[in-house]
Structure 1
Amino acid sequence: DEGAAAIAEALRGNEVLTSLDVGDNSLTEEAALSIVRVERQRNKLTSLFLGSCGIGPNGAAEIAEYMYVSGSGVLTTLNLRYNGIGAEGAKALASALRVNGVLTSLDVRGNKIGPTGATAIADALKGSAVLTDLNLFDNSFGDEGAKALASALRVNAVLTKLNLCNNGIGPEGAKAIGKALAVNGVLTDLNLSYNQIRDEGAAAIAEALRGNEVMKTLDLSGNRISDAGAKAIAEALRGNGVLKSIDLRSNRLGDEGERVVRDAVSWREGLKLREWF
């Protein structure tokens, strides 16, 4: 905390620093926020990393106020990973996202935002015109949150990268996301790894790939997909001409599932399969 106070004081007289990372330093919430309060007046940082700084819901709300102030400023990248902001903190940030016109990258992984927090962020995404990179890894929002985010993907026209890894998303959530991907024209990078979409969810994503013309990278590793899901994906890959990388590691593919996927990948020039199954 003493070091954070010194950094905050130094910022007061600095007119050129644009990127600051004080994450993983065992700061208290108050120490981390002391930096935010100075920067709120200074408004020079384009990138701020406050991961694992003990920031809770109230701290997230104060950072959201800063985002309001910097809405016409310069902050484009904000990382608040592993801070325990919860649903209330997510709602505060979502409220700020609705009016902030410059933030392009937000990382709130590992914050226990749950379905309520995910829904709030999804609602904000529907009107966002600048956010292109969103990391929601490890937030336990399940199918409910996935469906809300899918609804946002149907209308969002700017988000290109979305990380939904390890959120307990099942087949129903995957179906909703698949339907959204069928009409979304901008998302190029989707991480659905280590959820529980199984064959039914894999088939829904595969169906979306058939008509999707923008997706470049897709991670479906660790989803309990077996041969039936692999066959659906393989068939979709033959009809998709834009995907560059697909990850199916740590699933339940047998020899037949592995064979059909490899055949489809070898048939498609420029497509990379992440090894091993």
Structure 2
Amino acid sequence: MNNVDSYYYMQGQEQAGSNNGAQQLDIKKEEDIDTFSAGVQDSAAAAAVKQELGVKLDTSDHQLQQQQQQQQSPTLTTTSTTATSDVASPTNEVYAILLTPGDRAPFVQDLPDSFISLALGRAHKDDPASQVFTNTSSVCKRWRRLSVERITNYTFILPADRKVTHFVYNMANNQYTNLHALHYKVNSPTLYDITGFVRPILSNNTTLTALEAPQCGIGNKAATSIGNCLATNSTLTRLNLSFNSIGNEGAEEISKALAVNKKLLHLDLSLNCIGLKGAKALSTAVQTSVTLQELNLAKNRFGSKGMDVLIDAVSKNNGLLNIDISKNELNDKNCKALGEALKKHKSLQSLNLCDTSLKTESTRFICEALQGCPTIQSVDLSRNDFGYKCSKFLSAALEHSTSLTFLDLCGNDIGDKGTIMLAEGLANNKTVQSLSLAFNNIGSSGAQSIGNAIKTNDSLTHLDLSINAEIGPSGAAAISEGLCYNKRLLHVSFCTNGFGPQGAKALAEALRFNTTLTKIELRGNEIGDEGCRAICESLRNNTSVVDINLSANGITTEGCRPLCEALWFNRSLQLMVLTHNSIGQSDVQLMRYTLQQGYIMTLDAYIYPPNSQTTLSNLYLNRSNGTVCRVMI
């Protein structure tokens, strides 16, 4: 009898509590704040720091005396400041260093970025004139300098009062020498004039290469200011203004800047209410730009005439690598022009046509172009609902394309007829690595054709068949047979495919032969305890799978025992997801107790989503070889 059999039914009562992880996080947060506040030179200053951070000061006379003694000591050690601990931690090392002012080298490299953000952002509230900032910076100037150097990517919350803070001017004046990416955010995405926050930075800063300001309520006035600054800016390579309201006027000003700017590589103007007038301005700018590589114009109001002028611009700019015009309606004329542009383009790598209302003829033009474009690698044709009639064009594109590696056909209702035609091209394809056929009304006969195709295909690494509920057990058996022969696939997604217990058994049998799969998603297949037992028996000896999702499958207490056995014997699993099953907290504790007989186990439990009645538990299984398996329940 193995250890799992011996311990599984023992009624051990654990008193560790399900809130250990949350308590440890709270303690860690308090330690970080203590570390920061302990650096000031007197208790009053420490109180000011903690008050700024929203933490009550609770320092005893003994602690203050201990701090004063350490300040007077000429020699600093890296031991913990607590008398009961013999092991030094990075937090405590910094604690000791901050007690003594001067130019000593701190262990900033051991601090997490969250602590740096806490110390430099929340403590002085982006205002160097505040008393807390003065107390902090006077403790250890080198600590301050090294911390500032750590800032490379910063998220700035735009203040509700719209007053420009000292921190913005510091960024504009290059005080943060390694700051490369700045993200602006607002708490309430209403119309917000960010001119005062953008103009000084784009005009003076020489280190920033990426500016992200999505959903910041930017109107045409702020967009005009951004355009004026962009015309002379010589460092920015990425600008994201998505989900704003810049309109035609803002698009015209940014287009003027784009025509003369020599640095910008990536521009995102998606969801900005840009119409025909703005499309014409952008078309002129795109044609003349010599640096632009990525252009995102998704979900605007161009209309068919606007798309005509933009497609004409794309055909004349051979420097573009990635184009996203998704969620803009395209007609047959637009697609014919786009197809001709693709055939002539010399560098295009990615094209997103998701949700563009493609019809049969439109899809034909695009597919014919894919066969003649030698550089295209990624194409998204999802959510166009063009039906099975387009599958013959897609199959021909798959069979003859020599560069395509990613193809998304999700949500096109191609059905079994279309899937059978598509599978013929897939079987002969030598380049596609990722294929999504999710939400396509595929049944068992379509699954049979996919199973036959993956037997011979030697390029596909990622296959998504999610939300095709009619595949069922017979379709699962056909796909599983294909997996027995396939030696290339790494990630398969079979969520909501109607596998049931019998389909799970077929897949389990395939796992005995397949040695390449690393990630399997089986969410929502109602495999039950019977299917769970079959999967777990295969996982006991499988050495390739590291991530498996068995959530929402009707697994109960009875399925916990085979799960424990799989986790006990398997040495490769790193993540197992069991959420939305009928596994209670008592089952979690029993699984922990069982696995604890052979492994170091830790439990982290918390309420998720917030303000709900759902408890999300995380079991961490620590193996002797240093690897960890996380079990989400």
Q: TM-score range by the shorter chain?
A: over 0.9
Residues 142 and 170, structure 1, Cα contact 8 Å, conserved in 2: no
Instruction: Tell whether the 8 Å contact from 1:249 to 1:274 is kept in structure 2 after alignment.
Output: yes
Q: 1:238 aligns with which of 399, 406, 409?
A: 399
Amino acid in structure 1 at the alignment position of 2:409:
L
Contact 1:87–1:117 (8 Å) recurs in 2 = yes
Alignment correspondent of 1:132? 293
1:110 aligns with 2:243: no
1: distance between equivalents of 2:186 and 2:346?
37
Shift of 1:12: 4.0
Cα deviations by residue, 1:49-108 (Å, 9 ceiling, x for unpaired): 1112221112111100001110xx101011111110011111111111100000001111
Q: Secondary structure at the match of 1:98?
A: helix
Q: Which stretch has the larger CA shift, 266-275 or 150-159?
A: 266-275
TM superposition shift of 1:116 = 2.4
Q: What's 1:35 paired with?
A: 197
Aligned counterpart for 1:86 among listed residues 205, 227, 247:
247
Distance 1:210 1:226, change over 3 A: same
The AA in structure 2 aligned to 1:34 is G
Please identify, of 251-260 and 176-185, the stretch whose mean Cα deviation from structure 2 is larger.
251-260
What letter is aligned with 1:223? Answer: N
CA distance in 2, matches of 1:264, 1:96: 45
Q: How does 1:1-277 map to 2 (within 5 A)?
A: 1=159, 2=161, 5-6=164-165, 7-13=167-173, 14-16=175-177, 17-26=179-188, 29-30=192-193, 32-44=194-206, 45-70=208-233, 73-271=234-432, 272-276=434-438, 277=440
Aligned CA-pair RMSD: 1.7
Higher deviation after alignment, 227-236 or 2-11: 2-11
Higher CA-based Rg: 2
Provide the rounded CA distance (Å) in 1 between the counterparts of 2:230 and 2:318: 21
CA contact (8 A) 2:247 2:275 kept: yes
1:61 corresponds to which letter in structure 2? T
Output the CA distance in 2 between the equivalents of 1:120 and 1:248. Answer: 32
Offset of residue 4 of structure 1: 6.4
Q: What does the per-residue CA deviation read over 1:193-235, in whole Å, with 9 as the maximum and x for residues that have no partner?
A: 0011111110000111121100000001111212222211211
> Residues 134-191 of structure 1: CA distance to partner in whole angstroms, max 9, x if unpaired?
1111112232222212211221021101111101222222222111101111110000
SS of match in other structure, 1:63: helix
Q: Is the 8 A contact 1:192 1:219 kept in 2?
A: yes
Counting aligned pairs with the same residue, the percent is: 31
Distance in 2 (alpha carbons) for counterparts of 1:81 and 1:215: 25
Q: Deviations over 1:37-56 (max 9, x none)?
A: 21133232111111122211
- Pair 1:210–1:75, CA change in 2 (3 A): same
Amino acid at match of 1:86: G
TM-score normalised by the chain length of structure 2: 0.42
Residues 60 and 93, structure 1, Cα contact 8 Å, conserved in 2 = yes
Q: Which has the higher contact order (CA 8 A, sep 6+)?
A: 1
SS of 1:5 mapped into structure 2: coil
Distance 1:202 1:165 in 2: 14
Alpha-carbon shift at residue 192 of structure 1 (Å): 0.3
Is 159-168 or 255-264 further displaced after alignment? 255-264
Counterpart-to-counterpart distance in 2, 1:218 and 1:241: 14
Extract unaligned runs of 5+ from structure 2.
Answer: 1-158, 441-633
Instruction: List gaps (5 residues or longer) in structure 1.
Output: none
Aligned partners of 1:63 and 1:4: how far apart in 2? 18
1:12–1:81 Cα change, 3 Å? same
How many residues align? The count is 274
Distance 2:163 2:391 in 1: 50
